[in-house]
Structure 1
Amino acid sequence: MMTTAEILKRVRRIEIKTRGLSNHIFSGEYHSAFKGRGMSFSEVREYSPGDDVRAIDWNVTARFSTPFVKVFEEERELTVMLLVDVSSSSLFGTSRQRKRDLITEIAAVLSFSATTNNDKVGVIFFSDKIEKYIPPKKGKSHILRIIREMLTLEPSEEKGTDIGECLRFFNNASKKRTIAFLLSDFISAPYEEPLKLTARRHDLVGVQVYDKADKELPDAGLIQVQDSETRELQWLDTSDKKVRLQYAEAFVQHQKYGVNAFRKTGAELIAVRTDDDYVKILQGFFINR
């Protein structure tokens, strides 16, 4: 358990790093990737040659017996929701950091990028149930609270992952179209149906965070392993090529499910390994969007 001083020190360290990235690298890319996706009605004006006929306001046109078109403008304020996996498997990591640490940094970068553009940010923390909901707000102090919660919040008990439960809660809580980032290792029960509904209502981006040991077992002989979510113990002979191959194949199948589920719904999915340069990956995603 971290002391208050240690928590504040870590919050400050994450703030300095991620706020700098947001200000100098991601702010412009974030704006280009998401601004303009939300359009609000502004006014009507008389039709001019070249206007899109689909924009004609037929009620006003009938009233004045001359064609009028609706004019839309970019919404000045968007809402960003972070759907953050805090299940037990997020505490795993064999490289520079745990999956949870990387999720925290990425979420902080996204939060500061959003607040730089005057957008609201909210969070849903989930395991196999909703652990905590922080409604969207603006401001630096709100972002620092979110980071503090990410560092300290633990599931109420050893928990699995239920992405579907999180998406159902999000759909009920967010009626207005929202930019949603789902940050998880995606080790979950099937979630394609709620994902479909979410992608139809919102601008959804999945960020899969995984560790190299999720993908392949080292050749380390006979070892005892424990499932971080079910707590089940098992002996594995990692020197057996067949065992290592089956382990790798299970990861591939699990990843294929996620890729196919997101592709079918039209949502986007990016993958980041705990020892990857997430800055380059995120920047590339924003630029290519």
Structure 2
Amino acid sequence: MGKNKHTTQTYPPGVVITLEELMRYEYYVQDIPLLPQHPVYTILAGRHASKLRGRGLDFEEVRIYVPGDDIRNIDWKVTARTAETHSKVFNEEKERPTFVVVDQSTRLFFGSQLLVKSVVAAQVAALSAFYTVRRGDRVGGIVFNEERNDFISPARSKSHVQHLLTRIADMNAQLPTRTHIRQDPDVLNEILHKTGTLVTHDYVVTVISDFSLANEDTFRYLEHIAAHNDVMLVHITDPMEAALPDGSLVLSDGFRQVLWDNSTRHNGERYTEDFEKMKSALTERCRNYRIPVIFIDTGAEVSSQLMHFFGKTNQ
């Protein structure tokens, strides 16, 4: 139960999230291994080791000379001993700043069980930010809704993470109190276009949304960003999107209503099949651009879902 500075209203847990709650996610990343066995594309990815020719930070091995190797790295002792030219290989750490795109639009103010989507998006962003800084990289991003977007330039400190999370918590706290909402179907694409102008190369760009407004332009912007950066989509879902409860329901988009019954003409089965097809189609489409997609459910604890994904990816 928590209060926010925009209202004295008290909300049930999972409806809004405070800065204090987001700051606690620093402790969820303490047990994550900092050196994965191989490079991975994950929401939590930060610094990674890459083998580069030439001088670097740490000596790794000696191998047979390959045309194009820097002659300054020839190991003359090994070469003399083996009568075959050998080169030293160094291991250099490349910086991988993280740029999080956090959706806090009204479409995410929905949840049928444990949390609402907007709270889940905020928690995912907090985990990503703390993990990035813990690994020694910079973190920044954009927090947005239909009315505005806040840009936070990348930096490397806990105080900067707090600044980012403050923006997220402030925008999250506005959701229950919004009375006038400007419907903007292009808001996600506008933010992705802006992201493409802000990040240069070698970023880890994490886009956190339910992608309910995604269209062909969305994939065009994602492909552009992914050309020189690692992009990860975190798709926030809700159990009610996967299966509707049995019985008669009145469904509405705010303008129209429809009477729904799962048992009529196999409606429930087709509804679930359509959801699974959506997930598969999105995953396959993004695979073409080397963009991983992770689905996070509002009906389960967020950190365990992410930690399971991260640990599974690095095995």
Q: Normalising TM by the smaller chain, what interval?
A: 0.7 to 0.9
> How far apart are 1:39 and its partner, in Å?
7.1
Equivalent-residue separation in structure 2 for 1:104 and 1:30 (angstroms): 25
Indicate which of 210, 225, 235 corresponds to 1:208: 235
Give the corresponding residue for 2:93. 74
Q: After superposition, what is the alpha-carbon deviation per residue over 1:241-276, rounded to whole angstroms, capped at 9, x for unaligned?
A: 334344334323332331112211112111111122
Give the corresponding residue for 2:287. 263
Equivalent-residue separation in structure 1 for 2:114 and 2:36 (angstroms): 27
> How far apart are 1:4 and its partner, in Å?
6.3
Instruction: Write out aligned runs for 1:166-245 (5 A).
Output: 166-187=191-212, 188-190=214-216, 191-226=218-253, 231-242=254-265, 243-245=267-269
Deviates further, 163-172 or 131-140: 163-172
1:26 aligns with 2:32: yes
Cα 1:42/1:157, change in 2 over 3 Å: farther
Instruction: Write out aligned runs for 1:111-130 (5 A).
Output: 111-126=129-144
Contact 2:34 2:135 in 1 (8 A): no
> How far apart are 1:175 and its partner, in Å?
0.9
Deviates further, 245-254 or 78-87: 245-254
Aligned AA for 1:114? T
Indicate which of 41, 49, 55 corresponds to 1:43: 55
> How far apart are 1:30 and its partner, in Å?
7.4
- Mark the runs of 5 or more structure 2 residues left unpaired by the alignment: 11-16, 75-84, 176-180
Give the corresponding residue for 1:138. 156
> How far apart are 1:50 and its partner, in Å?
2.1
Q: Percent identity?
A: 18
> How far apart are 1:238 and its partner, in Å?
2.6
By percentage of residues, which structure has more helix?
1
Contact 1:216 1:247 in 2 (8 A): yes
Instruction: Write out aligned runs for 1:56-71 (5 A).
Output: 56-57=69-70
Contact 2:136 2:156 in 1 (8 A): yes
Give the corresponding residue for 1:278. 302
Equivalent-residue separation in structure 1 for 2:7 and 2:111 (angstroms): 25
Cα 1:141/1:38, change in 2 over 3 Å: farther
Equivalent-residue separation in structure 1 for 2:67 and 2:289 (angstroms): 26
TM (normalized to structure 1)? 0.78
Indicate which of 38, 61, 85 corresponds to 2:103: 85
Number of residue-to-residue matches in the alignment: 274
